[in-house]
Structure formats: structure tokens, C-alpha cells
Amino acid sequence: MTVELICVGTELLLGNIVNTNAAYLAEKCAGLGLSCYYQTVVGDNAERLGEVLRTAAGRSDVVILSGGLGPTEDDLTKETAAGIMGRELVEDPGSRAHIQAYFASRNAEPTENNWKQALMPRGGIVLPNPNGTAPGVIIAEGATHVVLLPGPPHELKPMFENHVIPYLKNLEPGVISSQTVKVCGVGESRVETMLQDLIDGQDNPTLATYARPGEVHIRVTARAEGEKEARRLIKPVVKEIKARMGGDIYTTDEEVTLEKAVVELLVANKLTVTCAESCTGGMLSARLINVPGVSEVYKSGYVTYSNKAKRKLLGVKKSTLEKYGAVSPQTAEEMAKGLASVSKGDVAVGVTGLAGPDGGTEKKPVGLVYIACNVKGEVTVREYHFSGNRQTIREATVSAALTLMRNCILEYFSEITFGKKK
């Protein structure tokens, strides 16, 4: 079954707001196993909205419209949809009573145009709106289902979850289920090359890759009669991806971010962590600290932006800074070593690099970054070359640091396992 989204609003066409409703509705519909091939944004204009709705109803089974249900003259989604579906608007007593009660509870008087919101297309299924004055409505005509929802996300989301999802689930038997495999430190085209035959050769489940900064997410999606059957289809494909991508996979849990995976690894191994950042200026610590419960492993960190701070707070040698420069493997290494000694962190990460836009030379171009990761005295230093602007270079650096931390911790403990360390 196919679904199509139409978001109505001039503020979207002007770019005043980001269309989060479309992302929300699209994700929910994908989770219901509906195929969405089109999303459209159109203004509060009867002619253009009518044209878009007619096209959508002609090619998709379900059309979900959001916005344009307000009380003003500009709001004409309901009028337009009713016209196209050949339904006259009649007053819905329940909606009228709700509007009355809504204003009474706020000690306010509805204005004349508020009553417009109680008019409903004849035969439509009215969707109550406890969070506002605009009810939603579903108009079904043959095999076509047109769903009208209010625009404000805090009204749209509960209405969709409480009324539209049960309605849509009833339309079709079967479920759709998916699992995400997340990989770090490998580019998207490399992942695709490694999985090309699976991507091309699979129909159910399907495979899709999604590039994220410093990461690639691989989603495996199956359709089946029941959840159990869907899981059974997904399992061998995930197993095959694991066999090919191995240690680059940091999670198979949709909810786990790279920073969360690193924090979980720290917690599991009872390791504390600390960061000393130059070019990233606190971004690495900030990303770790976005994980709830990080307080168990993260105690303190430093932003050592100046050379003086690197010397004074971390004990980087003046001679090192003079001989090799602040952006050098030697400085990164001394940052990570000094940091471990001043902070007593088990894992100590030093980051130094040139984020630009100025300060680059032929030998040390903008985008050159060194990251040192010190796990209980074992220091690994890596060189990176990133491109982009100051902000994107810094974001890429943070992802690389998280990947390096993960790899160094895993290596440290795997060596222990294999008896290479006392």
C-alpha cells in the first residue's frame, strides 16, 4: 500500500520553518510498512493545493495532509479536500462542543471564525484534538483514504498515534520490520562496494545504506505476515553483514549512537575517560556528555586551545611545541600522556589540528588533524586529513576521535585476552 504526504503552509515555502512533520510522518508510515514515494509542500492556495491533492489521490492509496486547518480565511485544506472528494461540509456537534469547552477552560471567547473548525466533510471520520481547536478528519472514497491533520507538531503527533495508526493498521494485513547495522570509520561507497550483491540481490528483506558524519548506517527491512516471520527474514542478512564488516560495526541497535557505544564500552570495562581538545574546543567532551549516565565514566576535561594551556594544564614540553609545532603527532602524544597523568583518566584523548580557515601551509594544510588515544599508558597516534569548513572539519574530527577511542579500547582488551599483556 502506498502513502503520500502533503504539507500545507506558506511558512514552509518561505523556509521559515523546517518540515519536521514530514520526517515524523514518513518515519511512522515506513514503520507501518507503507511505501512513500512522494512528499509535497504547497501553500495555502486552493487551486495549487487542489491540483496537488488530485495528483496524489490518483497515484497513492493513502494521502496524508498536514496544516491549513486553522480558523482563518487562509486555512482552506479542509474546504479544498472536501470539494475534491465531493463532500459537503456540515457541522459536527462533537467538535462544536469541544471548541466551546476548549475556550471556556481558558476563560476565553471563541471568535466567529473558530466555529469554522467544527465543520466537517459529510461522512468523514472525525479525529478529536485534545491539544488544540482543529479536529482532524479521514475521508475514505473507494480505495483512497485522505487524512487531514493539524499543522502544529504537538497536535499532529498524538492525533496520528492515537487515531491514524490504528486506522492504517486495519487497512492491510502483515507487518514491516527493520534492523539497523551501524558502522564507523568506513566510507559509504566502501560499505556499498562490500555489500553490493546483497543490496542488488535482495527483495525481502531490502538493504539500504545511509551516510552520517564519520559513520554509515545499513538498514535491513523485511515485510512479513507477523513480527516473528519478519525477524526470521532479517536475521541471516544481518549475520552476513556482520561477517563482512566485522569490527567496524559498533552497534545493531537503532537507538545507540557512536558516542553511546563508546560510553557503554567504557562502562563495561570500568574505564574513566577524559579529553584534552585544541581545535575541537570541547566538542568531543560535549558529544560524550550528550549520553545520559555518562557521569559514571566522564569526570573532567580540558579545552587547551593555546600553546600555553597545553604546557600549563597538560605538561606538553615547550621544546616539543617549538620543534614540531602544536599540530604534530608529538604534541598530540604529549597531550594524551600529560592528560592521563593530571586527570587520572584510564582513557585520555588528545586532539590537535588545523580547522582553518587560516593558518594552513603546504606542509600542514587546513584539515590536518592528529588524535592521540592513551589507554592505560598505551598511546596510539593517528593522522587525519579532513576537508570542509571549520565546523565540518571539527565535526569529522570528533567522529574520528570516537572511532579511534573505540578501536583502541577494543584492541587493548583483545590483547589482554590473547595474553600479550601482563
Are 69 and 75 within 8 A, CB to CB? yes
Footprint of its own copies on 249-278 (CB under 8 A): 275, 277
Footprint of its own copies on 370-399 (CB under 8 A): 385, 387-392, 394
Footprint of its own copies on 164-193 (CB under 8 A): 188-190, 192-193
Provide, rounded to whole angstroms, the least separation between the CB of residue 350 and its own copies. 14
For position 114 contacting its own copies by CB under 8 A, the verdict is yes
| Closest to its own copies by CB, 59 or 122 | 59
| Closest to its own copies by CB, 301 or 338 | 301
Provide, rounded to whole angstroms, the least separation between the CB of residue 296 and its own copies. 10
Are 149 and 160 within 8 A, CB to CB? yes
- Binding piece for its own copies, criterion CB under 8 A, among 89-97, 127-135, 227-235, 372-380: 127-135
Cα gap 152→66, rounded to integer Å: 9
The four Cα atoms 396, 401, 402, 406 give a dihedral, to 10 degrees, of 140
CA end-to-end distance (rounded Å), the chain: 60
Interface with its own copies (CB under 8 A), residue total 102
Footprint of its own copies on 192-211 (CB under 8 A): 192-193, 200, 208-211
Binding mask 21-60 for its own copies (x = CB under 8 A): -xxxxxxxxx-----xxxxxxxx-x--x---x--------
For position 246 contacting its own copies by CB under 8 A, the verdict is no
Cα gap 219→30, rounded to integer Å: 12
Cα gap 121→333, rounded to integer Å: 70
| Closest to its own copies by CB, 96 or 140 | 96
What distances in angstroms separate CA 169 from CA 8, 14, 403, one per listed residue? Answer: 25, 35, 40
Footprint of its own copies on 326-365 (CB under 8 A): 356-358, 365
Give the DSSP letter string of 137-202.
EEEEETTEEEEEE-SSHHHHHHHIIIIIHHHHHHHS-SEEEEEEEEEESS-HHHHHHHHHHHHHH-
- Binding piece for its own copies, criterion CB under 8 A, among 7-15, 118-126, 168-176, 400-408: 7-15
Provide, rounded to whole angstroms, the least separation between the CB of residue 232 and its own copies. 23
Provide, rounded to whole angstroms, the least separation between the CB of residue 318 and its own copies. 16
Are 405 and 262 within 8 A, CB to CB? yes
For position 124 contacting its own copies by CB under 8 A, the verdict is no
Centre a 10 Å sphere on the Cβ of residue 358 and count the other Cβ atoms it contains. 8
Which amino acid is it at 283? M
Residues ≥6 apart with Cβ < 8 Å to 297: 263, 266, 267, 271, 272, 273
CA angle 399, 276, 396 (to 5 degrees): 20
Provide, rounded to whole angstroms, the least separation between the CB of residue 225 and its own copies. 22
Give the residue, chosen from 309, 317, 324, 413, that forms a contact with its own copies under the rule CB under 8 A.
309
| Closest to its own copies by CB, 71 or 247 | 71
| Closest to its own copies by CB, 232 or 299 | 299
Cα gap 349→326, rounded to integer Å: 15
Give the residue, chosen from 60, 80, 177, 304, that forms a contact with its own copies under the rule CB under 8 A.
304
| Closest to its own copies by CB, 140 or 252 | 252
- State the DSSP code for 15: T
Footprint of its own copies on 148-167 (CB under 8 A): 152, 154, 158
Give the residue, chosen from 149, 216, 271, 294, that forms a contact with its own copies under the rule CB under 8 A.
294
| Closest to its own copies by CB, 87 or 223 | 223
Footprint of its own copies on 63-102 (CB under 8 A): 70-73, 102
Are 383 and 367 within 8 A, CB to CB? no
**Element at 79 (helix H, strand E):** helix 77-84
